[in-house]
Structure 1
Amino acid sequence: MENGIKGIDTFKELYMSHFQAVVGFCHTYLKDREQSMDVTQETFFKLYERLDDAYSRRNAIAFLYITAKNLCMDVLRHEKFNTEDVDELKEKLYSDDFFLDEITNQEMIRFVQAAVAQLTGRSLEIARLALDGLGNQEIADTLGISINSVKSRKKEMYSKLREIIGKEYVILFFAKYLLKIEK
């Protein structure tokens, strides 16, 4: 990696904002959390080796996902599969649609997590409990508040989240859609 401050700052920011998204992306291929973490660490190491001040943020993100996909494929090639598994994997994993869908899914998860992190107080507590799969009554019981308070806070929370996420979601949706019709 070049010694440029911009390159180091870009790497730190990408690592903090995209590490979990890349782990999730790898997990869709590997179905193993530990392997996914290892591949993600190797992916970021490869980025660190190559990143310099000339890299744009967009190029670095593309590099992350393409490198992660290639490393996952290497892991899968080295594992033993029966013939049916190999044919199914080839069809699914080599598909550009699958690759784009997974990038979109992981980036949306990242956007939602970043948006939820911007919430405060009860709204943050309610959002985290809802993301853990708890229903309104379970959230009310857990927090010791009325179910109407939960519903009211959720309504406010969803409005705020739509404001925060809205633009990024639209951008991802159109990027994915436009990439598919260009083929």
Structure 2
Amino acid sequence: MENPEGRLTKLALKGDQRAFAELVELYKDKIYHLAYRMLNNRHEAEDIVQETFLRVYRNLDRYDDKQKFSTWIYRIGTNLCIDRLRKRKPTFSLDAEMNDQEGVDGYSLIPSDNVTPETELLLSETQRLIYEAIDSLPVKYRSVMILRYLQDLSLQEISDVMDIPVTTIKTRVHRGREFLRKKLGPKM
């Protein structure tokens, strides 16, 4: 049985605008979240979504239906983000100090049935620290970490998206985690 993406893609290839609109609807939020996590800028993320779908539309005839459509569209979106990041001037320093958090430990991350405003504040602060740390990663590690942990893609899917061997992806995930561990160690 053919998956819905494959059916929609074939219809879109034949010029069916509604099918393409459905593909946009299926992926616009996913691509936006990917772009926002990589670029940390709402306007740039919106631009990336538009540019991704423009490229998909222009290159639909190049889509290889032997691969998953999601892999193809994530590759386009990821590459556009990486290009945008390369063009940026560095806006952060790897040596920059983060706010020191007293009283935040591993126990504050354990879910509880009785969520208090204080717990929510600690959790949101912890998430902010993690996102800041991810944002400070070099691009080649940041994109892999976002795809792995925020988009929840498998190592093989990331390999397909980035067109890089799985062994390289494993190395980048490992080095990205080490960097985050060093960056967040005393604060977590």
TM (norm. structure 1) is 0.47
TM (norm. structure 2) is 0.46
